[in-house]
Chains A and B, each alone.
Chain A
């Protein structure tokens, strides 16, 4: 027995794993810290905002007034409703413009476009467009839609600026989803005597739908919090009027938060915290619905 054990020990004597194992462990630890960093930052952000809001509540800022009133000189009577409605208007038109353009482009590039130099040029440019800073889209919307087309600084112009911003993201996400549909399905549909339109409508789009929707909603969740393009277009920083149609001037949630955060009257800082909570709630529910849609449709598939 003892001879055998000695022999076994000898067998692995030349294998020294200590150095490489320590390196492995260090790398593992680094990755864990990196992963925790984001979570900790998000938690700190939310705690900070909640604390600010709590202090606001303690000094007598009424959340109901906040959710039902428009802007006011007195922070205790000021509210967010004009900005909330403004952001909803913006989202509605951003969704319409960006989904039509984004999904349309993605379908063209993946399903119809011939594989030639022009197509590749378009694709390369889309990737670049996705990296353009949002303030540039604001400038573009200001020059073209607000001024040249005389739309004025209205909701429609703001929605166009936001749509331009998210369209490249929607295109790339939708392309990815369309590429994920196996070619065998397209061929199976064609072999059944379907036209290309029928194949796209009946087979490809339903199969790619969860991916397209997930990408679109995530892009829109980003758009709802965008500040810079709206500032360029000429958003009303603090509005006393609830916009009634897409050709009204408007306030939006992120810009009103931005404005309040820089007001010298400290009560407004707490109102900004209230605003952030509303904005984050909207964003998180959009992200949650994206996850829900993806899970739901993946189960059906």
Chain B
């Protein structure tokens, strides 16, 4: 292990530059890695109002994709399409296709409950249940009926969420007694405990102080080694720091640009994206 690590480290930047160099900007959506989520003409209406213009994009496996854009641009709407949380909103209508490993999740034979067992989610405001820390993390595995060796599952999820050290001696205490930052990491642990594969995050750090935010950001980078992460953020620096790819939505629910994060922030194709990123707009 110890001897192989430097090799990987040496190789990584080379690989990265190679991919970036080989890949024409227009093909950014079609990654060389396996595509986890593939949206084609995905459109969302709330009643008669169109919240999302047709979106076509392919999100690759084990990468962090950031979604940025001004308020009301449809970034959360797009995120909530991925695990069909929009279904719970009255009057919401989704058109087009969203393939999850090739299967359109809006097909009639897909049960949103089953889908959500494969795609976890972390919300803007920490929302721990009024249960013990242990029971919060064990919630997913329990309701999904895979509760053998729950102790190990809980410990592993808490370790991956960088919370184990802080709570290992008080797992039976109420989750509501934790600080805001700890609660959010607990929610991340809860989301990854059933091993979902994809994790959606809706501005997970926006309600937290800078130190807690840094912890969450470090955590997201680590999670991307195992999981595909899609994160909505209103913080452009955050998107630049933690993501591999960035989707830029602009007012009206239009996906304006989707590319490698480095490319988006260095030389965006679209003038509006440049204006938005440099702060002239939005």
Asked if A198 meets B131 with Cβ closer than 8 Å, knowing A193-B114, A300-B174, the reply is: no
Specify which of A115, A184, A203, A207 is in contact with B123 (CB 8 Å cutoff).
Answer: A184
Kindly state whether residue A295 has any CB partner on chain B within 8 Å.
no
Q: Interface SS of chain B: helix, strand, loop or mixed? A: mixed
In the complex the two chains form, is A207's CB within 8 Å of B116's CB?
no
In the complex the two chains form, is B129's CB within 8 Å of A207's CB?
yes
In angstroms, Cα B142 to Cα A195, docked, is: 12
For the complex formed, measure the closest distance between the CB of A107 and the CB atoms of chain B, giving whole angstroms. 17
In the complex the two chains form, is B129's CB within 8 Å of A193's CB?
no
Q: Which residue of A lies closest to B118 (CB)?
A: A193
In the complex the two chains form, is A184's CB within 8 Å of B121's CB?
no
Interface-lining segment among B10-18, B83-91, B223-231, B274-282 = B83-91
In the complex the two chains form, is A191's CB within 8 Å of B130's CB?
no
Please indicate the chain B residues that have their CB under 8 angstroms from the CB of A11 in the complex: none
> Number of contacting residues on A, CB 8 A?
21
Kindly state whether residue A202 has any CB partner on chain B within 8 Å.
yes
Specify which of B121, B176, B187 is in contact with A301 (CB 8 Å cutoff).
Answer: B176
Kindly state whether residue A15 has any CB partner on chain B within 8 Å.
no
In the complex the two chains form, is A194's CB within 8 Å of B113's CB?
yes
The number of chain B residues touching the other chain, given as a range, is: 20 to 34
In angstroms, Cα B187 to Cα A16, docked, is: 56
In the complex the two chains form, is B116's CB within 8 Å of A185's CB?
no
Please indicate the chain A residues that have their CB under 8 angstroms from the CB of B113 in the complex: 190, 193-195
In the complex the two chains form, is B144's CB within 8 Å of A193's CB?
yes
Q: Which residue of B lies closest to A194 (CB)?
A: B143
A-B contact pairs, 29 of them (CB 8 A): A182-B127, A185-B127, A185-B129, A185-B130, A187-B85, A187-B123, A188-B123, A188-B128, A188-B129, A188-B190, A189-B143, A191-B85, A191-B121, A191-B123, A191-B191, A191-B200, A192-B116, A192-B120, A192-B194, A193-B117, A193-B143, A193-B144, A194-B113, A194-B143, A202-B142, A206-B129, A300-B174, A301-B130, A301-B176
Q: Which residues of A contact B (CB under 8 A)?
A: 114-115, 182, 184-185, 187-195, 198, 202-203, 206-207, 300-301
Of all A-B residue pairs in the complex, the 8 with the closest CB atoms, nearest first, are: A193-B117, A184-B127, A191-B121, A301-B130, A193-B116, A188-B127, A192-B140, A194-B143
